[in-house]
Amino acid sequence: MCLPLIPPTELTTEQRGLYEDMRNGISSNFNASKAVREDGALMGPWNPWLHEPGIGKAIWDLTLAMTANATLPDNVRQIVILVVGARFDAAYEIYAHIAVAEHEAMRPARLATLVADLKPNNLSDDESVAFDVAYKLVRGGTLPEALYRLAVDTFGQHGTNEMIYLVGLYCPGVDDAQRLQRAGPRAGIGPGSIRVFVVGVTIFAVASVWCASSSTGGRDRSLRPPPSLAPVYEKFTERL
């Protein structure tokens, strides 16, 4: 059973504002794959965000901030996202970002290797570093200092921070979240773990750079979540 898609005619007042904002954002920034059903209902991750609009808006605001402030090359971003999707067998994430990567002319053999949770043997130096960072982060634990330093040397401090946030934003690995998605444009999220999913992704996203930054004395300790995420961050980091 999947969390039902919400037709626009059934939206609450709170959901309506988030729906309109996300619908506009999908049209301008996330249009490589199918995300809107024929009746206007949003699919993929946008559907569970609508079901929990208070939390969903915070995640959507982070998504917009990551898009507006992107500095990493798009090939690097897509490799990072596909590494995350492959790790958790996140069907919609893989479907949507294969479409983006194909639009950017990424070759089928490379895509096949990435979604098999393997490292392609023809990555450039910066792509290789991005793969290794994402691959390690989605398996938990502290990012090794040597890899962290290599990432900073390759992408700069801001680019490294952005990459870690990107992993956090796209990481669905909260509880057994890989079981909550279905393949392709019919993707939905099971009701049993919806709150765990959206809260967990938010915590991971806002805390990921902060935790990585605080773990050694040489890293920037001043990083904080975006203002729109502060209430969620403060509420749940009390429990960490």
Specify the higher pLDDT residue, 198 or 167.
Answer: 167
Query: How is residue 36 annotated by DSSP?
Result: B
Quote the pLDDT of residue 231: 53
The pLDDT, as a whole number, for residue 215 is: 43
Query: What distance, in Å, lies between the first and last C-alpha atoms of the chain?
Result: 32
- Helix %, strand %, coil % of the chain (to 5): 65, 0, 35
Residue 46 or residue 190, greater confidence:
46
Long-range contacts of 154-162 (CB under 8 A, 24+ apart): 154/125, 154/126, 154/129, 155/72, 155/76, 155/126, 155/129, 155/130, 157/220, 158/71, 159/71, 159/72, 160/133, 161/209, 161/213, 161/220, 161/223, 162/66, 162/69, 162/70, 162/71, 162/72
pLDDT category at 88 given cuts 50, 70, 90 is confident
Task: Tell me the whole-structure pTM to 2 decimals.
Answer: 0.72
Which residues, in sequence order, are CB contacts of 89 under 8 Å at separation 6+?
178
Residue 80 pLDDT > 70: yes
Q: Is the pLDDT of residue 178 over 90?
A: no
Lowest mean pLDDT among 21-25, 44-48, 216-220: 216-220
Which CATH class for the 71-237 domain? mainly alpha
Quote the pLDDT of residue 179.
42
C-alpha radius of gyration, the chain, whole number:
17
Torsional class of 3: left (φ above 0), alpha (ψ -120 to 50), beta (otherwise): beta
Cross-strand pairs, 36:
42
Give the amino acid at 52: E
